[in-house]
Structures are given as C-alpha cells and as structure tokens.
Chains A and B, each alone.
Chain A
C-alpha cells in the first residue's frame, strides 16, 4: 500500500501539466482500443443467441429475443458436451503432469549442482527454441508404434513434454531465488532431501506454482495442433478441435457455431479474469527473465 501511494505520488508529479485536451485524447485512444478488443467478442455472444433469420436481418446488433436453445442444441446435437468432457479429461493430467514434473526438475537443477546439470538445463532450454513442427512428424509414428494414437494419451504425453521446458525454466529461476539456508537448516535437523523439498520448499513456492498452473491450464485448454495430429477421432476431440470441425460442417448454421465458440471461450475467460494478476505476472516474469 505504502509503495502504491509512493508511486502514485511520483506519478502525480509526472502528470503535472497534463491538460484537459490531453486527457480527452488519452481516453479516446484507450477506449477505442478497448472497443476493438471487446466488440468482436460481443458479436459472437450476441449472435449465439439469435436465430439464423435474425442474424441475416441484424448481424451486428444485440439480439431482440434470446434464443437459449442454441446452447442446448450445441451442447447435445453439436456434441459440445462430449468435447467439453474431453477437454477436461486431457487438461487435468496435462496440468498436473507438467507442473509437478517441472517443479521437481526445476528444484533439482536449482538446488543440486550435480555433474552435467548445466548440460541438462541447456537440453531443456533447447525445447524453448525448437518449434513443435520439427518433432510432429516422427512423433506421429512413435505414438502409432506405442499404440497410443487415437487415445487421450496421444495428447497428454506430448503436451506435457512440450510444456516442460518453460515450466522447468520458470521453476528453476524461482528456486534459485530462495535462500539455500532454509533447506540446509532442515537438512541438519535430519530431514531427507525429499522431505526438505516437500515440507519446506514446496510451501514457499506456492505463488510460482499457482502461476504455473494457470499458465499450463491455458495452454492445454487452447492446444490445437497436437489433438489435430494425434487425436482426431470424433469421440476424443477436445473443445477447440470439435469447434473447428463443427464450423466446417455447419457453415450455414451461424448461431450454433457462435454458441459453440462461446462455450469454448467462457471457461478460459472466467479463469483469466479471476486470476488475471497471477496470469499476467507469470507470463511477464517468464518472458522478461527469458
């Protein structure tokens, strides 16, 4: 709070002299860009509640009557209920897997200066720079040979592997900032290495873990290419893929497509708005330290 007051005072000093004219210009630009972001999203939600006829007559305004049936129809006929369940089925293990593994490895790399730990770290870093495209072709045949193609695992395992480099990078940087003395003290009291990690370090890393969870959730929920390549079977499709095929099949049924888009959008927007501070923090911290 004190810090906030201080910066706002400084800010005050900085703005001294900003005229009314500047304020008007300032807010027109800021509001213009806010509308550019919001209005297109509004169109999707608005059109998801219209009939096809009403869309033709009134494509851009709010709906005159709210046709909620579009949602029940998308959910059942459009199979978005199934796709939603699939998204949850794959997202939970991806988040748990990627966050726990990168937390463990990040800790291992930060706390134990083992032989080759730098090399291992660089090998993980390589994953941040190598695009997914360069592994997507062999991965198809590897998953086929492991008989995982067309199962949920075909999305879960590669997604975790792809998420690890950033996760490890992020968690390692976090653990490096924690003082070693904390762990050493617990160690002297006779705790095992894992106990030190579990009882001392992990509780301290909850903020970083939370940022990771939110970040990986977003990534898994939005992931498109991995299920497109390895999990095309209709009954396994996650939401984004279901929506893509749906939009291709029902090009004429705009209201249902819009309802589907809203169903895909809603959970992620809710999570984002609730955790926006943590999310943006996680993202910028990761990026700036990168």
Chain B
C-alpha cells in the first residue's frame, strides 16, 4: 500500500520533472538529431565496416578481426605512422618555439603590436589549397624563390625540386604546414601572456633576474597551461593531417609523404578496400582519443 503510493508519487514526480525538462529537450533535439544521423551513426557504421571485407559494391563478407591483424604486418602503415611521428614532433616544437620567441619579444611591449598580430595570424585563415599554391611556387624547381635564394647566397649546389625529391618532400610539406599555423600558437601564447601574474615577474626583477631569466623561469612555467593546450592541438592535428599533404604531394613521391590520413583515403576511395580503410580510420580515432585523454589528465594535474 505504502509502497504503491510511493511508486505512484514517484511516477508523478517523474512526469512533472519530465514536463519541466521538455523545453530543455526541445532546444537540444534539432542539433542532436542532425548530429546523430550525420556523425554518430556513420561512426558506428565505421566500426561495423572494420569487421568486413567489402569493395563498396556487392555483399559484405564478415571476416572478424582479420582487418585488425592486417594492421600489424602492414609495412606501409608503419611507414606512414613514422611520418606522422616526425610531423607531430617537428610540427609541435617548431611553431611553439617561434611563437615563444615572438611572444617574448612582444611581451616586453612593441609598437605596432596589433599589426604584427594581424600579420602572423594571416596564414592561418588561408585555405590549404591557397597555401599549397603559394609553397608550390616557392619550391618550384625552375622559378622557385627557395632555389633562387640558395643560388644567390652561393649554395646553388643544394637547389632541387623540393617536393619531387623523396629526401626533402616530407620536410618541405611540413615547413609549409608550420608556416600556415604558427600564428595560431602565437595568438594563444599571447593570450596566455596577458594572464601571467605581473607581481611574480616584478618580484623576480627585484631579485635581480634579467629579462631572459624572468621569461624562462617565471613566465614559461606560468604558461604551462597554454602550452599543454597547443601541444594537444598539434598532436591531434599531426596524426590527423590530410589536406595539405593530399594537395601538395598526394603522399608521394612514392610513399615519401604518406601519412595515415592519406593512406586511409587511398585504401578507402582509390583502392576500394572499404573494410581496411575503416579500420585505418579507427586507428586514427584511437590515437586522437588517447591524446585527448592524456591532455585532459595533464590539464587536471596542472590545475
């Protein structure tokens, strides 16, 4: 009796709270519906595809974990991942180093700071195709600025077709990418510098620390938060990189600039190996999720 009443009361309560909640769901529903159809659902299907062999037409053949086993013996995949690793390390260190240098110089105040900030961020807003055209031109074997520059300073022997040479193609595309996003690191570091506790810096100054020491020992530790964040971005971005490489070299010459992003595209859309392509895409997802998780943990610890 009592419990029945209680149950009745609780359904009423639930009904009331549902009515109260309805507007909340109404606000969320349109976005969630679209996101579910065009993001969550395909993501789940990707997982399903990773267990089948399928060429995009005809029946799908269930093959269990075979696609996953194939990952371990796929030398091209490991080569691609090693290129991603180079990309992540250089593509993280270089923009942060440049941004810190510029930040250090500006942090002490500079006339025309706004103009510099606008200019440094300018490459970030350009579409990758435009960036690729710009740098294809710089690397052009006949007219390119890089070869002209090398010839002008007496290093003519080094001139080459930078993107066509397997030894330099990866680093050439990587330099292009760094050019196109170091401004992002710069802007974030500048924002972080605004929050640096000025009192700490002044205290260090009174203790006789010079500008460089103050920057390295007081300011940079205060920036750890911001630096972790940029690293998370470049880490995830470095494993997911696709567009700039696809446009500039298509992963070539040979496999010299193949990364997991271009390799996945190749398997799925050029070789119609849908199941294995999906498996590769899940490798990318796993790396991204692990990196995000590490980032969140690191952030919690730094707080």
Give residues in A with beta carbon < 8 Å to B: 8, 10-15, 17-18, 22, 26-27, 29-30, 33-34, 36-38, 40-41, 43-44, 47, 55-56, 59-60, 97, 101-102, 104-105, 107-109, 111-115, 117, 120, 123-124, 127-142, 157-158, 160-162, 164-165, 168, 193-194, 197, 218, 221-222, 224-225, 229, 239-241, 243-244, 247, 254, 257-258, 261, 264-265, 268-269, 272-273, 276, 279-280, 283-284, 287-288, 290
B229 close to A (CB within 8 Å) = yes
B148 close to A59 (CB less than 8 A): yes
Complex: chain A residue closest to B48, CB-CB: A138
B30 close to A36 (CB less than 8 A): no
Cα–Cα distance between A240 and B201 once the two chains are bound (Å)? 46
Contact with A along B1-45 (1 / 0, CB 8 A): 000000000000000010001011111101110110111111101
Give the chain A neighbours of B31 by CB distance below 8 A. 101-102, 104-105, 124, 164, 168
A135 close to B43 (CB less than 8 A): yes
Give the chain A neighbours of B285 by CB distance below 8 A. 130-131, 133-134
Give the chain B neighbours of A56 by CB distance below 8 A. 143
Residue pairs across A and B with Cβ atoms less than 8 A apart, 24 shown, are A18-B211, A29-B101, A34-B119, A36-B179, A55-B143, A59-B148, A97-B34, A108-B23, A108-B24, A108-B28, A111-B24, A127-B39, A133-B265, A133-B281, A134-B282, A134-B285, A137-B49, A138-B46, A140-B269, A164-B34, A244-B129, A247-B133, A264-B129, A280-B187
Cα–Cα distance between A258 and B46 once the two chains are bound (Å)? 39
**Of B40, B98, B127, which contacts A224 at CB under 8 A?**
B127
Contact with A along B177-203 (1 / 0, CB 8 A): 001000110011001100000100110
Give the chain A neighbours of B125 by CB distance below 8 A. 218, 268-269, 272, 279
B160 close to A (CB within 8 Å) = no
A31 to chain B, nearest CB (A): 9
Cα–Cα distance between A272 and B281 once the two chains are bound (Å)? 33
Residue of B31, B105, B129, B183 with most partner-chain A CB within 10 A: B31
Cα–Cα distance between A146 and B130 once the two chains are bound (Å)? 33
Determine, out of B73-81, B108-116, B166-174, the stretch whose residues face the partner at the interface.
B108-116
Give the chain B neighbours of A124 by CB distance below 8 A. 31-32, 35
B245 to chain A, nearest CB (A): 12
B242 close to A225 (CB less than 8 A): yes
Within 8 A of A (CB), among B261-284: 261, 264-265, 268-269, 274, 277-278, 281-282, 284
The 8 closest A-B pairs by CB, nearest first: A112-B24, A108-B27, A138-B45, A161-B38, A59-B143, A105-B31, A114-B24, A138-B42
Give the chain A neighbours of B281 by CB distance below 8 A. 131, 133-137
B32 close to A26 (CB less than 8 A): no
Cα–Cα distance between A273 and B188 once the two chains are bound (Å)? 18
Give residues in B with beta carbon < 8 Å to A: 17, 21, 23-28, 30-32, 34-35, 37-43, 45-46, 49, 56, 98, 101-102, 105-106, 108-110, 116-123, 125-130, 133-138, 140, 143-145, 148, 179, 183-184, 187-188, 191-192, 198, 201-202, 205, 211, 226, 229, 233, 236, 240, 242-243, 247, 261, 264-265, 268-269, 274, 277-278, 281-282, 284-285, 288-289, 292
Cα–Cα distance between A123 and B40 once the two chains are bound (Å)? 9
* Known interface pairs A37-B183, A41-B122, A268-B125; A244-B24 also in contact (CB < 8 Å): no
Cα–Cα distance between A160 and B28 once the two chains are bound (Å)? 15
Cα–Cα distance between A30 and B136 once the two chains are bound (Å)? 25
**Of A113, A158, A229, which contacts B269 at CB under 8 A?**
A229
Give the chain B neighbours of A247 by CB distance below 8 A. 129, 133, 136
A165 to chain B, nearest CB (A): 8
**Of B27, B119, B138, which contacts A197 at CB under 8 A?**
B27
Cα–Cα distance between A133 and B143 once the two chains are bound (Å)? 36
A26 close to B143 (CB less than 8 A): no
B268 close to A137 (CB less than 8 A): yes
**Of B23, B24, B240, which contacts A117 at CB under 8 A?**
B24
B27 close to A157 (CB less than 8 A): no
Give the chain B neighbours of A193 by CB distance below 8 A. 23, 26-27
Give the chain A neighbours of B233 by CB distance below 8 A. 287
A137 close to B274 (CB less than 8 A): yes
Give the chain B neighbours of A36 by CB distance below 8 A. 179
Give the chain B neighbours of A128 by CB distance below 8 A. 292
Cα–Cα distance between A265 and B43 once the two chains are bound (Å)? 33
A268 close to B121 (CB less than 8 A): no
**Of B35, B134, B247, which contacts A161 at CB under 8 A?**
B35
B201 to chain A, nearest CB (A): 7
B38 close to A158 (CB less than 8 A): yes
Cα–Cα distance between A269 and B131 once the two chains are bound (Å)? 13
B300 to chain A, nearest CB (A): 14
A10 to chain B, nearest CB (A): 6
Give the chain A neighbours of B144 by CB distance below 8 A. 59
A33 close to B130 (CB less than 8 A): no
* Known interface pairs A40-B138, A162-B39; A284-B188 also in contact (CB < 8 Å): yes
Give the chain B neighbours of A273 by CB distance below 8 A. 118
Give the chain A neighbours of B49 by CB distance below 8 A. 137-138
